[in-house]
Structure 1
């Protein structure tokens, strides 16, 4: 069975230069790649705040899902990379504000660094259109 694949770009210059998509939809399956709180002008949103960065990225992901015909209720997995595990309470607070009722899988992984020292979290997300919990 063949499934239609659609690549989505966020417009970041590196996407074209390096050759990656921000989000890929294959049939009903949606995969959003690692995203940080870099704003369109290149600055970091919520610099110094894991809560603000997490909330910003999760809201960005929900907007991307909507472009692909999905919604937050169809998210099945979220993976957060944090540069310090002391940020977990702040990450959890932002996460719960968006996903408390949805309850997707969630993993937080500690990593020594991201692309820039001011980036505290990077988030990946998977969703399946039609996968709404009962």
Structure 2
């Protein structure tokens, strides 16, 4: 492990179970792991609502970025994973509210499912702190 490696936790019980961090910063690079729409109480936020779930994912990811010393303006890539690609515009609306002026490279992809079937979306983010 490098000396400048910083691990950020969101407090999710899955982090120690799986062996991952919400975000990791190494030098100028920050990677935010696949972030699900989990509320502070551990329950899924916005059940059935792709927009609300995407907003929650972005809230969690933004908090992790800040803890790692980054901000949305440092984001260079996002990945939005959906269980129903037909709902991409709802996820895109939430993404655009945060990133319209930043315009990171972005990929939307359909996946078969997530760990919790109530999750409709997960978001990953990469940032470079200059």
Does 2:121 correspond to 1:121?
A: yes
Q: State the distance in 1 between where 2:22 and 2:38 align.
A: 13
Q: Give the conservation status (yes or no) of the 8 Å contact 1:3–1:27.
A: no
Q: State the distance in 2 between where 1:14 and 1:58 align.
A: 18
CA-CA distance at 1:40 after TM superposition: 2.5
Q: What is the CA RMSD across the aligned residues, in angstroms?
A: 1.2
In structure 2, what is the equivalent of residue 36 of structure 1?
Answer: 36
In structure 2, what is the equivalent of residue 49 of structure 1?
Answer: 49
- Misfit runs of 4+, over 4 Å: none
Unaligned stretches of 5+ residues in structure 2: none
Q: Give the conservation status (yes or no) of the 8 Å contact 2:80–2:124.
A: yes
Unaligned stretches of 5+ residues in structure 1: none
CA-CA distance at 1:10 after TM superposition: 0.9
Q: TM-score, normalised by structure 1?
A: 0.92
Q: State the distance in 1 between where 2:89 and 2:15 align.
A: 31
What are the equivalent positions in structure 2 for 1:1-80 lying under 5 Å apart?
4-80=4-80
